[in-house]
Amino acid sequence: MSIITISRGTASGGQALAELVAAKLRWPCLSNEVIVEAAKRYSVPEPELVKAFETAPTFWEKLTASRRVYLTFVQAAMCEYAVHGNLVYHGHAGHELLPGISHVLKVRLVAPMESRIEMVMERHPHLDRKGAIRYIQQVDEERASRMRYLFGVDWRDPHHYDLVLNLDKLTLETAADLVIQASQWEEFQPTTASMRALQNLALSSRIRAALDAHPQLSPYDIGVDVADGVVTLSGTLPTEEAIRAVVATAEHASGVTRIVNQLVRK
C-alpha cells in the first residue's frame, strides 16, 4: 500500500498525470473528494474550505484560528482515505497533509510556460496571451501565499519533494511511467513503522478535528499526541467542565485505547 501525491502549478498537467498514473496502477485518484468529505463531515461550507487552500489569506484570517481549523478538517479526511489503501492524490497541499509518513511519494510537476499559457487560453477563451500570463502568475502566487500561511513552506521549493518532473522534454506517458517506477522503490513501500505512524496521525487528526468542530472547545489550543491508541491531552483550559468535555470528545474517537489527561485549569 503506497500513496502518491502530485503537486503542480496551475495549468501544468497535474490532473492529467495523476489520472494516468492511477489508471495504469488501477488505484483510486482523489482531488476535491477530500474537500467534499471534510466539508460534509464537519459541517463546513465546501466553498470556504476550497478558498482556504486556494487563495491568499486575508488580514482577518491571520488573526483567527481558521487556519488551524480548516487544515485539521482536511487532514482528518485525507488520513481516512490514506489508511484504506493505495491512492494517487493531486488535490490541495497533498505533499504536506501526511507529514512523517515514509511511504508517501511526493511528486512535483513543472511544465514550460508556453504550454501553460496555451492551456489557460484554451480553458478561458476570453483571455489573450498577456491575460493568461497574469492569470498564471496570480494563481501561483496566491497558492504560494496560502501554503506559507498554512504550513510555513514554499510549495515551489524542490526540497519538499521526492521526485521533480519537467514536461519540457518528457511526455505525459513517460512522466507517468517514472512516477510508477519510483512508487515501487523500496524507500516508498509501507513498513510496520510507517503504517503505525499513519494510524497515529489518523487518530490524532480525528480527535483534533472533533475538538475544532466543537463550538465550546474550538477556541482552545489543545495538544493531542497519539502512540498506538494511547492519547495524551495537554493544554490549559478555563474550567473543569471544559477539561471534561475535551476528554469526553477524545474518548469518542474510534481507535482510542487509553486517555492520558495532562490538561490543567488556569
Domain that holds residue 250: 214-265
Residue 207: inside a domain: no
So what's the pLDDT on residue 137?
94
User: Predicted confidence band at 65 (pLDDT cuts at 50, 70, 90)?
Assistant: low
So what's the pLDDT on residue 196?
96
pTM, full prediction: 0.90
pLDDT exceeds cutoff 50 at 63: no
Residues 165 and 52 in one domain: yes
So what's the pLDDT on residue 56?
66
Residues 7 and 86 in one domain: yes
Distance of CA 188 to the CA centre of its chain: 18
Residue 201: inside a domain: no
Residue 209: inside a domain: no
Residues 181 and 92 in one domain: yes
- Identify whether the C-beta of residue 234 lies closer than 8 Å to the C-beta of residue 223: yes
Q: Distances from the Cα of 90 to the Cαs of 30, 66, 93, 104, 231, in angstroms?
A: 6, 23, 8, 13, 31
Residues 44 and 103 in one domain: yes
Residue 205: inside a domain: no
So what's the pLDDT on residue 60?
56
Per-residue pLDDT tens for 33-60?
Answer: 898 899 899 888 888 888 777 776 675 5
Domain CATH for 225: 3.30.300
Per-residue pLDDT tens for 171-185?
Answer: 999 999 999 999 999
User: Predicted confidence band at 64 (pLDDT cuts at 50, 70, 90)?
Assistant: low
Residues 128 and 228 in one domain: no
Residues 26 and 68 in one domain: yes
Domain CATH for 14: 3.40.50.300
Residues 157 and 260 in one domain: no
Which pairs from 114-120 meet CB under 8 Å and 24+ separation?
A: 115/13, 115/167, 116/9, 116/10, 116/11, 116/12, 117/11, 119/11, 119/13, 120/10, 120/11
Residue 203: inside a domain: no
Residues 69 and 117 in one domain: yes
Residues 13 and 115 in one domain: yes
Residues 23 and 72 in one domain: yes
How many domains would you assign to the chain?
2
Residue 122: inside a domain: yes
Span 237-250, mean pLDDT? Answer: 96
User: Predicted confidence band at 61 (pLDDT cuts at 50, 70, 90)?
Assistant: low
Residues 178 and 241 in one domain: no
Last residue of a domain, which of 173, 188, 203?
A: 188
Residues 177 and 238 in one domain: no
